Amino acid sequence: MMNSNMGMAIVCMVNSTEYDDPPAPRHHRASNFTDFDYETNFTAEPISLGAPRLNWSPTDQGYIFGAFNAGLLCMLLTGLLADKFNAKYMIIASVLTASAANFIIPLLSPKSVYFAIFARFLIGVADALLQPAVNSLLTRWFPASERSYALGVASGGRQIGALLIVPTAGALCSQTEFLGGWPSIFYVSACAGIFFIIIYAILGTDKPSKQSCISESELKFITLSNAAENVGMKRNERKVPWHHILRSGPVWAALISVVCHEFPLMTMIMFLPSYLHDVHKYDPTENGILSALPTLCLWISKIGSSYLNTWLQRKTQLSKCFLSKLLNAIGSVGLGVFLIGATFLDSTRASLAVIFLCLSMLFTGMHTPGCQSALVAIAPAFSGAITGLTFFFVVSFFNPKSGKTNINKSYWFDAFVA
């Protein structure tokens, strides 16, 4: 929720050509405060109620989205921490950091764009703490035969959060009575994060042996299933075998595949609302609903394809490696075809463009039992380190500024990468 909200919120936060607001200084770019008109020598009246709209240029917006990726670079370090320290506390620290950042955006971004950039950097750091911690938890809580499906369910939480916040953000954008309009998007997101921390601090644990709700038979099953993987070894005595990891062909194959998966996915998450607003002219409420549809398709596909992968492993003689490659290949081809197709559609065929984007995300979901599951399957005891290394490369190559400037060209590039 606290990452996906910016893509929708920025449509309402920022002045576009439909708002004839006078420019303000860079460090105070708010348009509905009382401004002085230097050409006619009179003070203009406020033009709207609610929170101010901000005169951020496309370059400013690119830096805001790019700051999230800069924070993600920390995953190279946090990946190591996930395998050595309590993943539960890393998750709590992640959500707490993201909640604080979501309070910063509405409170301070009207004063300066740099506060928004800093807040988005913090959200990137929070995500860098979260992803390796979740992958490390999966290797402790699930036997190898169930991890593909477990990964689909766990990572599907991102899509559930987006499904909740994107339509909500569209509705909140269209009003000014509740917390001034667009600031309410971030306040709601931050409060949801605080609520999660309270619940997870009480119920969550980093491994099954610490969970009071688990049955003795289930604990024994998980422990015996994972006994050969070394995940139970005392964390601070384990050294990451970087020499073997960096020389491993499967590691680099999984890394490159995940980079190619994340490029179009990050473009979709960050810029889909702006694309539907700028190219297809949807109003905020419609935009919020339609922007959620590709996310819904992605979630359905992740769960469905992960379950299919697990079922095929049990019911057929097909190997895990073959199934992973097959689903990954089908997903990549379908993603590329429908992304390219969407670029040929203008505002007169906006509905078809949304359908194409939904279909592209249906195929993207097949990467979950493909390249994504490889991150927790290659070396379960060091899944955090491998995840951190992988996403370090993802954010090193992804450039949000280019996507914001020309979304159609970005879709073409994403299709080529996929």
Say how far apart CA 149 and CA 250 lie, in whole Å.
21
Q: Return the closest-CA partner of residue 150 out of 165, 160, 135.
A: 135
Place of tokens 């449509």: 11
Could you tell me which residues are beta bridge partners of residue 37?
42
Q: What is the pLDDT of residue 145?
A: 79
- Phi and psi at residue 30, to the nearest 5°: -125, 135
Higher-confidence position of 96 and 213 = 96
Q: Which structural domain range is residue 104 located in?
A: 5-417
Quickly state the pLDDT bin for 226 (edges 50, 70, 90). confident
* DSSP three-state, residue 379: coil
Quickly state the pLDDT bin for 265 (edges 50, 70, 90). confident
Say how far apart CA 138 and CA 206 lie, in whole Å.
10
Task: Check pLDDT > 60 for residue 184.
Answer: yes
Q: Judge whether 321 and 329 are in contact, CB under 8 Å.
A: no
Q: What is the pLDDT of residue 359?
A: 93
* DSSP three-state, residue 414: helix
Q: What is the pLDDT of residue 26?
A: 40
Q: What is the pLDDT of residue 23?
A: 42
Measure Cα distances from 57 to 13, 26, 119, 236, 250 in Å: 12, 10, 18, 47, 42
* Mean pLDDT to the nearest integer, 390-407: 66
> How far, rounded to the nearest angstrom, does the alpha carbon of residue 142 sit from its chain's CA centroid?
23
Measure Cα distances from 354 to 133, 268, 276, 339, 342 in Å: 34, 12, 9, 10, 8
Higher-confidence position of 315 and 15 = 315
Q: Return the closest-CA partner of residue 120 out of 67, 171, 75.
A: 67
Structure tokens at 80: 């190591």
Q: What is the pLDDT of residue 120?
A: 95
Q: Judge whether 225 and 296 are in contact, CB under 8 Å.
A: no
Quickly state the pLDDT bin for 108 (edges 50, 70, 90). very high
Quickly state the pLDDT bin for 402 (edges 50, 70, 90). very low
Quickly state the pLDDT bin for 231 (edges 50, 70, 90). low
Residue 27, C-beta contacts closer than 8 angstroms, at least 6 positions apart: 111, 112, 113, 114
Quickly state the pLDDT bin for 49 (edges 50, 70, 90). low
- pLDDT tens, position by position, 144-172: 878 888 888 888 888 888 888 888 988 89
Q: What is the pLDDT of residue 183?
A: 93
Measure Cα distances from 90 to 119, 206, 237 in Å: 19, 10, 19
Task: Check pLDDT > 50 for residue 22.
Answer: no
CATH of the domain at 136: 1.20.1250.20
Higher-confidence position of 394 and 401 = 394
Structure tokens at 339: 């992304």
Q: What is the pLDDT of residue 84?
A: 77
Q: What is the pLDDT of residue 20?
A: 40
The identity of residue 136, as a single letter, is S
Quickly state the pLDDT bin for 399 (edges 50, 70, 90). low
CA angle 45, 49, 53 (to 5 degrees): 85
Quickly state the pLDDT bin for 230 (edges 50, 70, 90). low
First vs last Cα of the chain: how many Å apart?
Answer: 25
Instruction: Domain count for the chain, please give it.
Output: 1
Phi-psi region of 181 (alpha: psi -120 to 50; beta: other; left: phi over 0): left
Quickly state the pLDDT bin for 197 (edges 50, 70, 90). very high
* Mean pLDDT to the nearest integer, 101-107: 95
pTM (2 d.p.): 0.76
* DSSP three-state, residue 394: helix
Q: What is the pLDDT of residue 237?
A: 56
Say how far apart CA 302 and CA 251 lie, in whole Å.
22
Q: Return the closest-CA partner of residue 291 out of 208, 224, 353.
A: 353
Average pLDDT, rounded, for the chain: 81
Ordered DSSP codes for 75-120? HHHHHHHHHHS-HHHHHHHHHHHHHHHHHHHHHHTTT-HHHHHHHH
Angle, helices 320-343 vs 284-315, to 10°: value is: 160
Burial class (CB in 10 A: 0-12, 13-18, 19+), 220: exposed
- Phi and psi at residue 178, to the nearest 5°: -95, 105
Q: Judge whether 405 and 62 are in contact, CB under 8 Å.
A: yes
Task: Check pLDDT > 80 for residue 60.
Answer: yes
Higher-confidence position of 316 and 40 = 316
- pLDDT tens, position by position, 318-334: 888 898 889 989 999 99
